[in-house]
Chain A
Amino acid sequence: MKCELCHANNAETVLYRRNAEGKREELYVCHACAERERAFEEERGIQITAMRLNGGAKPAPPEEPRKGADEAEDAPPADEAGEPRMMSAAEFFGEDEEPRKGTDEAEDAPPADEAGEPRMMSAAEFFGEDEEPPEDPSAREFLGLHAGTPDDACTRCPGCGATIGDIRHEGLFRCPQCLTTFPELTRTLLDDAQQCSDYQGDPAPGTERLREIEALERRLAEAIDREDYLEAKRLRAEIQAKKGEAGHDA
């Protein structure tokens, strides 16, 4: 089963969260996506209620814990309404393993806000204030420093819903909007297939006029730069005449 967020890696854990409408969601995701979601939980208003690690296999659906059994201890913590809530570090790691002050574990403890609840680390806190964020793209992606940029693995084409993985797997675009949604991928595929990514063929019917108008506008700009206003006036009249012609624009 593939991760439901990136659709590239295998699903290794389950993520429980509340979306913006307050509804509880259950997502089967890979570790990288889970960590990224945790890192941005506060920014996005997502409450990560529990994470179950299941060694890479498809996690089983949550079961009701039986009292007195080990499963009861492993069950996700619930709030007063019985809905799963976010675990604290102490709950996740165990009461006995609370970091002791003055040791390395204290320094490694997750940062807490004023209420003592864990909060998201900044990049500077994670790597130390003296260090710059990593240059490695996978590390930056893990920290979410490039989340939401074009050609992201999570981005879906608004026209057909395809992802980069879908297009790479098939070697085919699924709709014209894929080319503008994934510009880097488009350029790469065209360079591989045709060693060229700029069209130099016949213009489509009706676009010859647009090409001529663009050429006239370039000449107009050059005439203005060299202060040849008579030529600029003549070119402007020619441009307006061309724009007034009927024609088909693709």
Chain B
Amino acid sequence: MTRDTQVTEANLRLFCLKTQIAFVRNVSGPPFPAALRNRARQILGEQIAGDLRTLLGAQDVTNDDDLAAYGAAYHGLTPREERRVGYRLLRVDRTPLGTPVWCELMGANHCTFSVCDTSLDFEARTEALRLLVDGLAKPLRFVYDRRLGYVTAQPALMGTGFRIRSWMHLAGLSHFGYLTELCNAAEAMRALAEPYRPEDAPPGNLMILFNRFSMDARAQTLAGHFKAFLMRVAEQETEARWRLLHDEPFVFVDILKRAKAILKNASLISADEALDLLSDLRLGLTCGAATLRKADPLAPHWFDDATDAAFYPRQGRALRRTVSLPHDVATFRPWRNDALRAQWLRPLAAFAIDRDLIERADSQ
């Protein structure tokens, strides 16, 4: 198992698809959203949204339907079905972080400021976002107590109000059935893992890892702890992939051949199946067991676009204009998306499996 920090950090870039850094604040004055009626939540949300537009030059994108569909997958925003009365979404484009900062008013006076990208410089980005949010403390008057920190309705977010989440592709650990151990280890290391189902691997072998505590240290320190935890996870994932590649070449070749066959021949591919196929392909590419020239399946947007919510606005609508579908699937929505998804993924079937791996598998 490699303990070389540079190697581990390089591998972490392959395993960590994207990271969301968020700060939660409540504006002082009214009670928290749970104690307010719908009308009060709506009015208060509009007032605070207006203040944010003035203070940050934010753009209100609450009514953007496409963003509501793919925002959860791309930017870690609240899914459309979980948005309550009074929800507002604002985007701040000109920030020191270089990427848009999202301001979500979850209802009334509960504000979440977040940024989501592929950068691994957690500490610097955390500090930059914290300074941006602290600049709003005086005009907006966040609820703050010197003993408890920033006060929110949820005890788990009280203190710094800091939440960092990473989407990790852990195909190696999933293959050997170590995801439950990962969840247990996360708790011991001040983090939590959001499993899909305890007995099954998550679609695409994607695990969401996030920090557990937000009160006992500065936000930058918490980000550092979280990155140290991710480095440990990256070490274990590297070891698992190494074992799969060198100890089980026959199994590895079988995984890749199955993926190739389905991508080449399937007419309907569901979202979960697409995530699994992308996971297998990404596993092969990152281990050097497969090569693909004309596409870059390592780009995180492949996983994001394959989900049900994001696929049609991001890829399916454009494909629909160019691909003719049989009449029985053209109008029936689940099948229409599955058929378009199969068309979208077909170019990825052109990957080539490494000859050395095939030879080792044959000789095993």
Contact = CB atoms under 8 A, between A and B. Distances in A.
B216 A248 contact: no
B216 A174 contact: no
Nearest to A170: B34
B155 A189 contact: yes
Interface string A153-172: 00000011110000000111
Interface in B1-43: 26, 28, 30-32, 34-35
Contacts of B137: 204-206, 248, 250
Nearest to A199: B149
Contacts of A149: none
Contacts of B28: 176
A224 B143 CA distance: 36
Contact of A250 (B30, B142, B216): B142
Interface stretch (A67-75, A114-122, A190-198, A215-223): A190-198
A175 B145 CA distance: 13
Given A172-B154, A196-B216, A199-B149, A162 B35 contact: yes
A174 B153 contact: yes
A40 interface: no
A172 B34 contact: yes
Residues of B in contact with A, size category: 35 or more
B155 A192 contact: yes
B30 to A, nearest CB: 8
B146 A202 contact: no
B146 A194 contact: no
Given A162-B35, A172-B32, A202 B158 contact: no
Contact of A176 (B146, B147, B151): B151
A207 interface: yes
A194 B134 contact: no
A141 B1 CA distance: 61
A173 B34 CA distance: 8
A234 B56 CA distance: 43
A197 B217 CA distance: 12
B355 interface: no
A228 B107 CA distance: 55
B216 A194 contact: yes
A198 B28 CA distance: 21
Contact of B150 (A189, A195, A204, A248): A204
B32 A174 contact: yes
B215 A196 contact: yes
Interface in A206-246: 206-207, 210
Most buried by B among A176, A197, A204: A176
A174 B147 CA distance: 19
Contact of A159 (B31, B162, B219): B31
Interface string B112-137: 00000000000000000010001101
A204 B150 CA distance: 8
Contacts of A186: 148
A186 to B, nearest CB: 8
Nearest to B220: A202
B160 A172 contact: no
A200 interface: yes
Given A173-B153, A193-B156, A248-B138, A201 B31 contact: no
Interface of A: 159-162, 170-176, 179, 186, 189-190, 192-207, 210, 248, 250
**4 nearest A-B pairs in the assembled complex, by CB-CB distance:** A199-B149, A175-B31, A174-B35, A201-B160
25 contacts: A159-B31, A160-B32, A172-B153, A173-B152, A174-B31, A174-B153, A175-B30, A176-B28, A176-B32, A176-B151, A179-B148, A179-B151, A190-B155, A192-B155, A196-B213, A197-B148, A198-B147, A200-B215, A201-B159, A201-B160, A202-B218, A203-B146, A204-B137, A204-B150, A207-B146
